[in-house]
Amino acid sequence: MTFSDEAAFLLNCSGIQLSEARVEHLRRRVAVGVDWGEIIRLAIPHGLLPLVAMNLTKHAADIVPALTMAQLALFRRRVDIRNRHQMAELMRVATMLGDAKIRVLPFKGPLLAFCAYGDLSLRESHDLDLWVHPSDLPAAGNLLRASGYRAAAHLKGTPALLEVDPGEGHTDFLSSDGSVFIEIQGELQTWELSFWPEFDEVWGRSKPVTAEGTTIPSLADEDLLLTLAVHGSKHMWRRLSWVVDVVALLQSNLDLDWNLTLRRAEKWHCKRRLFCSTALADRLYGLPLPEFYRIESRKHAYTRRSVSNISDKIVEGVGARTIRNYLSELRHHLRNADKAGDVRRLLYAYLCKIWRADESAMVRSMPMNTLILFRIFTRIRSAIARTVKQN
C-alpha cells in the first residue's frame, strides 16, 4: 500500500481518535512542510476536510499557517451550520411522518454525524435518507408535498426540481427553498445487491435518538454497520469518508454485538461486504477489532483481494467510465457477493446496464478510445433490435 506524501498525511489527520504515533507523524510532517493546496484538493472530494480541520486545530494549530487554519475553520463552521439546519428539518419531517402513523427510520446524513461522530461539524451531509415501509411510500411522498417539498432528481450530481411531478411512487424531494434534499426509500439498496433486510424486523429493534428535545427512531448499531458496509461497497469505497463512517460508528459503540452482527450479515447476504468494510477501516485507520472477528475475516481470500485492490487506489478513486474501470467495478461486486444467486443477479443487472446504456450520457465521461468501442457496440445493438423487430 503506497500513497503520495499528501495522501498519507490526509489519512493521518482524518481519523476520529488519533493515536500518539499518528499525532507525532502529523506534527513532524507539518514541520517539514505541507502542500496545503494539494491536501485540500484531496480532502474535499473525500468529504474529509472537517476532520482535517478538527485534528489540525487540536494537534498542530501552533505550527500550521494561520491563513490555512482560518480557511479550515470557516469550512467546518459552514458544515456545522448546514448540518444543524438539516438535523432540525430531519426531526421535523420524521415527527410529521410519525404523527401520520408512517414508521420512518432515518440513516446516514446528520443523524450519523450526531450519533457516531458526536459532533455535527465533523461529517458533511448533502441529503436526508429516510427508510419507510414500501407500502407507505405514496403516503410519505404526499405528506412531503403537502409540507412544501416538490419532486426532484439528481441532475449532473445536483438536486433539481422536476417540471412534471411523476406522482405517487416518486422518492426524491427538494424543499421549497432548495436547502434540503430528501430521499425516501422502500428498500435500503437496489435489488441487484441482494441486500433486503425486512423493515418490520429492523423497526422492532430500532433505538431512540433524542436531539433538540425531539425523539425519533434510528437503526440499531449492528443494522447500521451492515447498511454502511453495503453502501460503501456499492460505490467501491470511492470516498474515504465512508470508511471513516465505519470507524466512527465502531469507536462510539465499543459494546457492539459482533456475533449478532455476523448472524445478520449471513442472513442479509452481506458478510463479505462487512468483512471488507472493517478490514479497510483497520488497514487505513488502525481500527481495533475483536480478535475472533479479525481471525474470521482474514480467513477469506476475497476480503484480502478486495481490500488490497481498493486501498491501493482509494485516494485517486475511479472516475472515468472506461471499460477497464467498468470491469473492475463488476469484478469487485462479484467478489463480494455471498451466494451463487447473488452472482447471477449481478451479472444480469450489468448486462442490462450495458444493453440500455445511453450514448448521450456516456459521451460526457468516456475517454475517446472507450467511446469508439461503445459506439461500435451501440451500432451492433441497434442492428440486433431492428432484426428482432422485423422478425
Sketch the domain layout of the chain as residue ranges. Answer: 5-64, 100-219, 229-356, 363-391
Which pLDDT belongs to residue 374? 64
Q: pTM value?
A: 0.88
Q: How far apart are CA 242 and CA 227, in angstroms?
A: 11
**Distance between CA atoms of 314 and 114, rounded to whole angstroms?**
26
Q: Cα(59)–Cα(42) distance, rounded to whole angstroms?
A: 20
Calculate Rg over the CA atoms of the chain.
22
Least confident of 143-157, 235-249, 367-381: 367-381
pLDDT of residue 302: 74
pLDDT digits (tens, 9 = 90+) for 12-68: 899 898 889 899 999 999 999 999 999 999 899 899 999 999 999 999 999 999 999
Q: Tell me: pLDDT of 301 over 80.
A: no
Q: Three-class SS string for 92-151?
A: HHHHHHHHCCCCEEEECHHHHHHHHHCCCCCCCCCCEEEEECHHHHHHHHHHHHHCCCEE
pLDDT tens profile 154-188: 876 788 899 888 888 899 999 999 999 999 999 98
Contacts of 85 (CB under 8 A, 6+ apart): 179, 180
